[in-house]
Amino acid sequence: MTSAAGNVKVLFSSLKSTYVATPMKLKIVNLYVFCTLCTAVIQVVFVALVGSFPFNGFLSGFLSGMGTIVQAVCLWMQVIPKNKEFKELSLERAFADFVLTNLVLHLIIMNFL
């Protein structure tokens, strides 16, 4: 029992030290992903409790959230310093790609509504 508790303590201390070393830009992207995920979960819970009368409204909101999460994770992968695949890509270009793809996604979602 004590070895499991010790392992958990080591795990949390490792996570804490890694999180402290994470750049602020990545923390902001992580917070954005978390907030968008919470919004999608709230939508699913609302549909489960109340019903899905305008189903295309729920579907477009949920897919918008999931698409935004995927795009934010792609942005996170592009701006992380340890990733060698996107070294030549500037931060401004990665953010511009994120904004442009979000604009296209939400134009499609609005058309679906």
The arithmetic mean of pLDDT across residues 77-104, rounded, is: 88
Measure the CA angle with vertex 61, ends 56 and 63; round to 5°: 90
Predicted confidence (pLDDT) per residue in 100-110, tens digit: 999 999 999 98
Res 89 pLDDT > 80: yes
Q: pLDDT digit string (tens) for 28-74? A: 999 999 999 999 999 999 999 998 788 888 888 899 999 999 999 99
| Structural tokens at position 57 | 């409204």
